[in-house]
Structure 1
Amino acid sequence: MATPSNAPVATENRETWTSNTGFILAAVGSAVGLGNIWRFPGVAYESGGGAFMIPYLCALLTAGIPILFLDYAIGHRYRAAAPLAYRRIRKPAEALGWFQILLSFVIAVYYAAVIAWAMSYFVFAFDLSWGQDTLAFFVGDYLQVGDPEISTTIVPGIAIPLVITWVAVLIAIALGVAKGVEKVNVLFIPLLFVAFIGLVIRALTLPGALDGLTEFFTPDWAALGDLDVWIAAYSQIFFSLSIAFGIMVTYASFQRRKANMTSSGLVVAFANSSFELLAGIGVFATLGFMAHQQSTQVSELEGLTGPILSFVTFPAVINEMPGGTIFGVVFFASLIMAGFTSIISILLGVAASVGEKFGLGWRTSAVSVSAVCAVLSIGLFSTTSGLIALDTVDQFANNVGIVLSAIVMTVLLVWVYRRGELLRQHLNAVSTFKVGKWWIVLIGFVGPVFLVIMLVQKLVSLVSEGYEGYPGWYVGLFGWGTVVFVIVMAAILTAIPWKGRDQADFRPWPELEEEHR
């Protein structure tokens, strides 16, 4: 492809991934996280078993991949983290960028706590310190869970690994895109896949494994007529791909100008889904063994999803398993790697956004952002109310904040600013896999329709039923308060004048006819 006369201005000096493989591994590292391991298997099982794969595949093809392409197109064309990238589209859209980045900020603050738990359990696995009553150990001895309140009682067993987590995150981010984030992913992602494949192979050799797989894959075709099952599929795809909260916009902005964006996106999306399926096989083979040991059915077991699956159910299985110590060590090492590659992707976007807005050097921005996150993380989530606070903030940040972000993003870009065709042309200009007009239909209509249904359903539930029986004031503070905080701070940050170079002279590349219409 010849370089056009309007090539990027010479003043642009942006670090890039060292190779397309490095970008893909980093993007896979962001997508493959804790939710792949503890959320997908339970959601699939509760939503029709084998039949769930039909709405799951539909969701991947009609919303997941299209919106991932949209994130890629924005970041790659406008060469910036979300706030500046949207600002380069239209100045008022900067607020959407900050909304997405602040969601990332909030998620990073509590996500680190789960990594700290995994680090603790990695150590516990060597001598099975959690004992026989794994639930009592997790919520009592380890987390020391109290009532929903604003607690100032720090639990040292959580605070220490949490500090270690933030130091590691700071180092990885401060080293930059190529020397830090990319190298971590190039090392951890192959190790994660190898480790998890080993876990799955071991699980498949256990007595009762086939019963677990039968339970997991047996299709309930009637579930396909349930709207909630389809919403669950779109929800799972949406959250697992790290889309619509600034991460992939930032990642794509560090990709080289001549980069095969759509083909890379397909690799990332299908690698993420493959890992989820692998996790489902491993988890249910293991649960089949547990049911066999207890002379019961998998359907009678409790704790099939979320943190309880990883930190209560799995330790109980490991107690009964021949060679359980090795299995436990590898399992919790896998959780650490999956969590760490995800959190550095989240913080990369936050650090890049702050640096661009305030004209800070990369390391200054990385240290400042990581320090603020660490203080909030330790102060809120290493206390005796940490688990309840984490659960509440996570529910509202993901199921309200990110879904709202995606709706606004797709409607704004396709219907208000009319940039759908321009971004489609950009993807086709730099990629071998071409996207047709159907892509605009998917991101402008199909995706938003399901997202609106998801959001309305969740809002009705939260308003009418509250959340998990927690006191109204608590849900208001940590739940609705999280959404209000993100909106208000997005407005404030947008109103602050740019101290960094907003690059008004920036010229997107390649030049496209649609840009001038």
Structure 2
Amino acid sequence: MERSEWSKPIQFILSIIGYAVGLGNIWRFPYLVLTNGGGAFLVPYITFMLFCGIPFCFMEFTLGQFSGLSPVEAFGFAPLFRGLGWAMLLVSGMLCIYYNIVMAWVVFYFTQSFSWNLPWKSCNNSWNTPNCFTYTGLTNMSSIPPNSTSSTMEFWTHRVLESSPDISDFGGVNKHLCACMAVAWILTFLCLYKGIKTSGKVVYVTALIPYVFLSILVVRGLTLPGAEIGLNFYIKADWKQLKSLTIWTRAAVQVFYSLGPAWGGLITMSSYNRYHRKFNWDAFLLPIVCGGTSIFGGFAVFPIVGHMAYQMGSTNVSTLMNSGPGLAFIVYPEALAQIPGAPIFTVCFFAMLFTLGLDSQFATLETMTSGFMDRFPNTLGRHKTLFTLLVCIVQFFLGFVLVTRAGGYWFQIFDWYATPISIVLIATLEVIAISYVYGAKKMLGHAETMIGKRSRFGRIFWTTIWYFITPCFTFYLFVTVIMDYTPPYFTNGKPFPSWSVAFGWCVASVSMIPIPLFAIREMWRRRHNLKSLFKPMEYWTDACEARLRQAEMRKIREAEMELDGIEDDVRE
């Protein structure tokens, strides 16, 4: 079967931007800046983006576009590492499961925002407790009653999550979140039911609309009294923190997780490119847009939180800020509730989050479905719509534990274990496989057949980066993630029970198991010729040669059509 291609070049650009620019750019990056030296954090962030983010993108674009294969088949250049493709497929599949519960939370908040009296703004609701207090009218942080809980926190805990007391107490299904998760999966399917033929059109909206909403929030935030309080924490640099290894580590992690190498999405999306697409500019554009969005997003977060601090007579926003879901579903909604016209800007905020999350889900799910269809082209490949529907249904039910009343705890288990360790392991082995086993020079040669010859300096630059800097970066990241590991804990500081931690490690191992399994299988199959473990498989070579022939035939057809057009003009 001939592989689908993007209808227009811009669709690939929008798809990879939508994939890389996600929720973490809004709810993680601002907190990292706040807690890691303010503006000084941008130094290691930009450094890692330039010397690691861009080279990784270039490497994965080369592999995907040259082979025209999804990750499951793309690693056929080295049989010993074939398990990496399946590892990418599984880690993307697990991400889809718990990512869509976040989308469900966003959908619920979005629907609740269509009210002039935002439900998390008061303590007069059925879910509130006697310990509830509101920030409205609060002029001093010291006047907050002891052992009290904000109305926003109670809305999140008792209304949205309907949290049970413990992770083992499932407490039945949270019906409104179940419905919202179903909506999220239905929309995901409708955008992907024909693969890139549908998602390529949807990204015109989902990749661009977030910037409209983000700009609205930035403008509104900058015009609020107290905005300068938040901006001061965001922009002011504590250069002394650059001496700390921690700030460099966190910058490296943020670059890695925001761009999405080793997840399989970049390889999958680039495999739908035309053979001679000049993707080298895309490899520069994606990190720039991703980093720029993160920085721009900070100007939407800090001024509004600064306004909240101003109203409470405080000059310290660090006591209000949080990371992850805490920022998106507790801190920011509370801050938005304090400004005039709050419902309008709240709708904008959650609409922005939904579109950011939706197009990140496109490439993640496409990585999974295309992997199976590339592996079984004569069965699954002929029924793309039906198979995509089946995958969405299965993943909806696999995520059912996340819509129980213990779902918030299980989300933390998945988020803690499903991807962090496996992703850095996959990335480390991927760089070794491409740079040392297959050869960085050979892979660069493949890139040159598609985008044209590089200068001597360019070839030296890329091979040096791929041979030394990128491998060191990924290995350093892998060691850091392992050494910094701590078990998850509840908000009160109590650690999760040991059985749930054991389950978390089982979840983590799911995506890592294919790596040794496929390696052992290939070693057994090739036990009489171990050198073949490091040589391209026949199907991979055939696929690459077929891609080249197809590209050359297209060039000939286009030249003939152009010649026919010239002849017609001459006759006229």
Instruction: Please indicate, yes or no, whether the TM-score normalized by the shorter chain is above 0.5.
Output: yes
| Whole-Å separation in 1 of the counterparts to 2:414 and 2:453 | 38
- Alignment correspondent of 1:30: 19
Secondary structure in 1 matching 2:419: helix
Aligned counterparts, 1:278-427, within 5 A = 278-359=296-377, 360=380, 361=382, 362-377=384-399, 379-415=400-436, 417-427=437-447
Following TM superposition, the consecutive aligned residue runs of length 4 or more in structure 1 with deviations greater than 4 angstroms are 432-435, 489-497, 501-504
- Counting matched residue pairs gives 490
Cα separation, partners in 2 of 1:408 and 1:493, compared to 1, 3 Å: closer
The letter of the residue matching 2:447 is L
RMSD: 2.2
The letter of the residue matching 2:507 is T
Q: Of 471, 496, 506, which aligns to 1:470?
A: 496
Q: CA deviation at 1:51?
A: 0.8
For the pair 1:156 / 2:175, whether they are aligned, the reply is: yes
Deviations 1:81-111 (A, max 9, x none): 1011112x12332211011111100001000
Cα separation, partners in 2 of 1:149 and 1:461, compared to 1, 3 Å: farther
For the pair 1:197 / 2:185, whether they are aligned, the reply is: no
Q: Of 90, 107, 113, which aligns to 1:125?
A: 113
- Alignment correspondent of 1:484: 509
- Alignment correspondent of 2:102: 114
The letter of the residue matching 2:120 is W
- Alignment correspondent of 1:460: 483
| Whole-Å separation in 2 of the counterparts to 1:130 and 1:122 | 13
For the pair 1:90 / 2:103, whether they are aligned, the reply is: no
The letter of the residue matching 2:433 is L
Residues 148 and 385 in structure 1, CA contact (< 8 A), matched pair in contact too: yes
Residues 263 and 431 in structure 1, CA contact (< 8 A), matched pair in contact too: no
TM-score (norm 1): 0.90
Residues 352 and 365 in structure 1, CA contact (< 8 A), matched pair in contact too: no
For the pair 1:42 / 2:31, whether they are aligned, the reply is: yes
Secondary structure in 2 matching 1:505: helix
Q: CA deviation at 1:502?
A: 5.2
Residues 53 and 256 in structure 2, CA contact (< 8 A), matched pair in contact too: yes
Residues 188 and 337 in structure 1, CA contact (< 8 A), matched pair in contact too: yes
Which has the greater radius of gyration?
2
Q: CA deviation at 1:372?
A: 1.5
| Whole-Å separation in 1 of the counterparts to 2:234 and 2:460 | 37
| Whole-Å separation in 2 of the counterparts to 1:331 and 1:15 | 35
| Whole-Å separation in 2 of the counterparts to 1:163 and 1:45 | 35
Q: Of 535, 544, 558, which aligns to 1:507?
A: 544
| Whole-Å separation in 1 of the counterparts to 2:266 and 2:255 | 15
Residues 434 and 443 in structure 2, CA contact (< 8 A), matched pair in contact too: no
- Alignment correspondent of 1:173: 192
The letter of the residue matching 1:85 is A
For the pair 1:439 / 2:462, whether they are aligned, the reply is: yes
| Whole-Å separation in 2 of the counterparts to 1:391 and 1:439 | 39
Cα separation, partners in 2 of 1:74 and 1:58, compared to 1, 3 Å: same
Residues 466 and 472 in structure 1, CA contact (< 8 A), matched pair in contact too: no
Cα separation, partners in 2 of 1:151 and 1:452, compared to 1, 3 Å: farther
Residues 93 and 364 in structure 2, CA contact (< 8 A), matched pair in contact too: yes
TM-score (norm 2): 0.82
| Whole-Å separation in 2 of the counterparts to 1:223 and 1:202 | 31
Gaps of 5+ in 2: 123-150, 490-494, 526-537, 550-572
Q: CA deviation at 1:436?
A: 2.7
Residues 83 and 514 in structure 2, CA contact (< 8 A), matched pair in contact too: no
Residues 32 and 240 in structure 1, CA contact (< 8 A), matched pair in contact too: yes
| Whole-Å separation in 2 of the counterparts to 1:175 and 1:357 | 18
The letter of the residue matching 1:485 is V
| Whole-Å separation in 2 of the counterparts to 1:489 and 1:451 | 20
Deviating more after overlay: 390-399 vs 345-354: 390-399
Cα separation, partners in 2 of 1:290 and 1:259, compared to 1, 3 Å: same
| Whole-Å separation in 2 of the counterparts to 1:126 and 1:51 | 39
| Whole-Å separation in 1 of the counterparts to 2:50 and 2:541 | 36
